[in-house]
A and B are shown apart, each in its own frame.
Chain A
């Protein structure tokens, strides 16, 4: 059970949070301009990495805020948490 440091509330138990899939997938601004394949890429294709993964999390039973998390899926170590809209660190 993770202990997650919500950027707005502080450390809380995992049971208060919802995982929201891969982070930094931006909704296309002009969907109608996209081909079926391009739209499908946005809609369906997600990475499932063993190792460092960028994820979205939501403090669903708390402040309801979304934020980003970098997590090592092989050992569940949370490397970094940063707010929505902030850019992920390089490297």
Chain B
């Protein structure tokens, strides 16, 4: 492919290094240093995509992250293809493959383009208005809309790239390495401040670094040369970290910022192998200097979107920086001096510039004079009224403006040929990050820009993002602001000599007039979303006033560029149409991220097994080796059941349950929360946090406790053992451990600081094996032959400190299943060994390991609740029929007063009952609703099933449920309506097995 659209003047492109890439399946060449956009332009390709709604042909418009049109899909690998990438930000490498988005079947022949001709039928809010009725049709509409809209394709396979996070703490963070950012970084570093300088481009220096005009001089050097020298000095400084290709995504309060550092996207496949692709920087800066620069605005006129219509600064950058000629016959269209700089730069490279169309009446700045001296034709007081050419700009029509700029001086129309139009509507300070941090803007009437006003945190804005656009102002004001902000005497830029061309006039006409009526024109405000000035006017006619509402109704500013180019025009048009002052219309809220972030960057290394933290018990390997299925409980991986052969979960649980009741079972209970409680007021503390009394509990004895919230609702439960006079060990539910600990600390520190009590979480310090069943006593006897296991010496609800072999262990004779059982706690590192010894000793008794599911079944047979399954934060102990655990004598405990509130004393509260199905083989569904009348409309719902199992030990289905007024319904017949049938049930006592506790005291 020819590269005849290159000029030999670029310092930034390596013409000796030719790079081959593919665009829409065709191979092209560019040079090292090119972006995809510059390389395509060098190959005379402007048409790169289609617009979102009308599918109009669109070309490259900008040279940076604000690009609204040139959005491409990069790569065709199913795992790492990336949609919505701006061609202006993609650095080319050998093997790069990119293609156009939002066009089908191809960018040159796009069926959706028919929307362009149907566009009178597609005004603002069209989708809302048309497709909302009838509602049942929406699904069909949606398919058609999604097919023709849609921005790119998501990867279909898991991302194979590596991402990571890094924390950075610094004294000063400088965002943006343009001229003011470079000044700030140098000043901060030279004052011994640990400084971080970030820029989204691959090169430092911003726009000044390719500014080669004699009109702009600093210290008697051309501004780019001066800045180059500054950067060279900067690179020598210690104490300064510089990161390029790094874009700040979010600026949160307290100077906490997130930035995305791009490490390998510019490298070829081989070069990026095994390297981290992108890094999320989490930055906490003592001070932040925002030097994000400004964005050039387009002008809003009829058909201002054809391929070949670009920002004037982009045309200049492509020529000066990339050495690329955007058009052979260029015209500029402007309301300020910027386009003159661009035109002069092109002319000096021998590139043809036909003329400049300027909506101002005149200007006598030195840069305008220079253009005139070079023989450039200027059409003062003229505007473009239309453009021509479908896939590439061919012609423009211009007319002379009237004095007020709202209509025309005469009816003469001039048609001019051109293939590239550079437009400049002035500059908008990039205040996005400033406002994200909570900063408030003020409107500067003089040149109609929003600039930073009130600072929230330790931060300051300098340069053009602060509204300084002239070179001398940028240097002087930045220097002054830095001195004040960093509290220093001088910056080194104080008395520097600056030559510049001063802009003498600017003129904003937010919507330029056309000779056609507004309804027949397409003056685009938001290119990506195809929102036109006409749409904004329609929204205003329909009664929308707030900028936030107009934005959503017209979708202005809602594309991937987030209104970087068009927001000010939208505000201006609203102000002009409604007669409200622009500063009073206000801006929409800028939200993070400033530029899109990949999901990979956000997630970092926390993928796959690192997505969330798992906690595993010391016996975990044994469970795995013995075919356990696992269940997540909180962050714990708990053994759920141990299927043998082809057993289903149901079959395994039936077997495990039966074996435990008939002989012996063993459960890994290591995950239960354990809190060590010590101090002279430990008993008093337990009296206050549990519903029952603790003072009289003997040393070496255990007691079940129920803990409420202050609202009287059950919060947690567990057995607490008195180890000594002032020493207890409390167990909590597995999932509730951390919260219980937090709650107890809260009361100790804030309500009862006078109590002498110390809490220590010891959950991970102990491993716990629970052996239960009629033969558990024999097994424990084999493990500790010397221990007297008689009911006299070691009764139910008591504790012994013993040794298994040489290892100390704590044994509680307590039961959650209703079987005789022992809970053996041992130092965690001996957990697996303890478990294996129990298995060995229990072999002759067919000791059966069981998981959480069997535990749930066994305790349901016994009518024991599980907090969180049978309760949901609305159940009092009275509702649970657990009055026996609530002390009537204690003056106070957490939640006591609430048990006497009129609401908690209602008779018709949901109360815990047992349910038996009339057909003992029918097992209820947990969560199923319960009713008492079959033919009632609306049917009165009495409650729901909370736990339900087929009990192998009772040979029938059992369930726990909560039912309104259930306490007084014993024997009552109720109904469970299911999708295909109604199940008849009878209300019974919730304790199904061994109500007399014979098994416990065996």
Contacts and interface: CB of A to CB of B under 8 A. Distances in A.
Given A3-B254, A36-B902, A84-B753, A64 B892 contact: no
A39 B897 contact: yes
Interface string B876-918: 0000000000000001100011101110000000000000000
Contacts of B844: none
A60 B742 contact: yes
B905 to A, nearest CB: 10
A1 B285 CA distance: 12
Report the 7 A-B pairs with minimum CB-CB distance, sorted nearest first: A31-B897, A1-B256, A3-B254, A66-B749, A27-B751, A76-B253, A1-B252
A46 to B, nearest CB: 13
B901 A40 contact: yes
B284 A3 contact: yes
Contact of B897 (A26, A32, A64, A66): A32
A64 B711 contact: no
B901 A36 contact: yes
B208 interface: no
B742 A43 contact: no
B634 interface: no
19 contacts: A1-B252, A1-B253, A20-B746, A27-B710, A30-B892, A31-B896, A31-B897, A32-B891, A32-B892, A32-B897, A36-B902, A43-B710, A43-B898, A58-B742, A58-B745, A66-B745, A66-B746, A66-B750, A76-B253
A27 B710 CA distance: 10
A76 B253 CA distance: 8
A58 B256 CA distance: 21
B438 interface: yes
B10 interface: no
A2 B901 contact: no
Contacts of B749: 65-66, 84
A76 B753 CA distance: 29
A30 B284 CA distance: 47
Interface in A24-56: 26-28, 30-32, 34, 36, 39-40, 43, 56
Contacts of B892: 30-32
B762 to A, nearest CB: 15
Nearest to B894: A27
Nearest to A83: B749
Interface string B615-648: 0000000000000000000000000000000000
Contacts of B254: 1-3, 76
Given A39-B897, A75-B456, 17 more contacts: A2-B253, A3-B254, A3-B256, A13-B256, A13-B284, A18-B742, A27-B751, A28-B897, A30-B892, A32-B891, A32-B900, A40-B901, A56-B750, A58-B742, A66-B746, A76-B253, A76-B254
Interface in B769-805: none
Interface string A71-91: 000011000000011000000
Contacts of A40: 901
A84 B750 contact: yes
A28 B900 CA distance: 16
Contacts of A75: 438, 456
Given A32-B891, A76-B253, A39 B284 contact: no
Contacts of A2: 253-254
B755 to A, nearest CB: 13
A18 B739 CA distance: 12
Interface residues of B, number: 25
A65 B749 CA distance: 8
Interface string B733-757: 0000000001001100111010000
A34 B710 CA distance: 14
A39 B898 contact: yes
A64 B758 CA distance: 12
Nearest to B167: A13
Given A32-B891, A39-B897, A76-B438, A58 B746 contact: yes
A64 to B, nearest CB: 6
Contacts of A3: 254-256, 284
A26 B750 CA distance: 9
Contacts of B252: 1
Interface size class of A (residues with CB under 8 A): 20 to 34
Contacts of B253: 1-2, 76
Interface of B: 252-256, 284, 438, 456, 710-711, 742, 745-746, 749-751, 753, 891-892, 896-898, 900-902
Interface of A: 1-3, 13, 18, 20, 26-28, 30-32, 34, 36, 39-40, 43, 56, 58, 60, 64-66, 75-76, 84-85
Nearest to B258: A1
A60 B745 CA distance: 10
A84 B746 CA distance: 11
Nearest to B751: A27
B438 A85 contact: no
Nearest to A76: B253
Nearest to A39: B897
A30 B897 CA distance: 9
Contacts of A39: 897-898, 901
A85 B438 CA distance: 33
A40 to B, nearest CB: 7
Contacts of B745: 58, 64, 66
Nearest to B893: A31
A31 B897 CA distance: 6
A44 to B, nearest CB: 8
Contact of A43 (B255, B284, B438, B711): B711
Contacts of A31: 892, 896-897
B891 A85 contact: no
A71 B438 CA distance: 15
B236 to A, nearest CB: 33
A64 B743 CA distance: 11
A40 B898 CA distance: 9
Contacts of B898: 39, 43
B897 A85 contact: no
Nearest to B738: A60
A43 B712 CA distance: 10
A51 to B, nearest CB: 15
Contacts of A1: 252-254, 256
Nearest to B457: A77
A56 B747 CA distance: 13
Nearest to B284: A3
A65 B742 CA distance: 10
Contacts of B900: 32
A27 B897 CA distance: 12
For B254, B901, B902, the residue with the greatest tally of chain A CB atoms inside 10 Å of its CB is B254
A58 B896 CA distance: 25
Contacts of A58: 742, 745-746
Nearest to B752: A27
A1 B256 CA distance: 6
Nearest to A33: B897
Contacts of B896: 31-32
Contacts of A34: 897
B745 to A, nearest CB: 6
A74 B898 CA distance: 34
Contacts of A26: 751
Contacts of B750: 56, 66, 84
For B456, B711, B750, the residue with the greatest tally of chain A CB atoms inside 10 Å of its CB is B750
A60 B738 CA distance: 10
A67 to B, nearest CB: 9
B435 to A, nearest CB: 13
A12 to B, nearest CB: 11
A65 B750 CA distance: 10
Contacts of A36: 901-902
Nearest to B712: A43
Nearest to A78: B254
A13 B284 CA distance: 9
Nearest to A42: B710
Contacts of B902: 36
Contacts of B456: 75
B803 to A, nearest CB: 34
A2 B746 CA distance: 22
